[in-house]
Structure 1
Amino acid sequence: MLMSNTDRPARLHYMANGFRVLTTGDHVVCAVSGARIPLEDLRYWSVAAQEAYATAEIATEAMSPPR
């Protein structure tokens, strides 16, 4: 029987121009909002923090220095 990746979080290694799948799955979770991000929609992440973000606004806020 084949295992489905549906409803399983993926584990990724984030790089400057993409990411490498370490554990297969169909989504990752936003580090700030907790939103589920399908891999095909993943556009924002931090290489230094190795975490994903759901939107550009969340990514900008997460990477901005504290005020």
Structure 2
Amino acid sequence: MLMNSPDRAAMLRYEPNGFVMLSRGNHVVCAVSGEKIPLEALRYWSVDRQEAYATPEIATKRLLGQ
């Protein structure tokens, strides 16, 4: 179960099959769009860049360098 704090960005360590919460929060911020991503909706990230992405399209473009 994720422990959330209202309206606070979480700090995460992104791993290949999930993430580890380093500091509590209820969302992360997309590295490209700046959009808040609720932790329950977080599906796309880069382990190498340690970044979260709001959509698969944003993730693909970022990872391809576009």
Normalised TM-score (structure 1): 0.90
What SS class does the counterpart of residue 25 from structure 2 fall into? coil
Shift of 1:6: 0.4
Mark the structure with the bigger radius of gyration: 1
Q: Percent identity?
A: 60
Q: Please name the residue that 1:16 is paired with.
A: 16
Q: Which residue of 1 aligns with 2:53?
A: 53
Equivalent residue for 2:40? 40
Q: Any runs of at least 4 consecutive aligned residues in structure 1 with deviations exceeding 4 A, and if so which?
A: none
TM-score (norm 2): 0.92
How many residue pairs match? The answer is: 63
Distance, in Å, in 2 between the alignment partners of 1:22 and 1:58 is 24
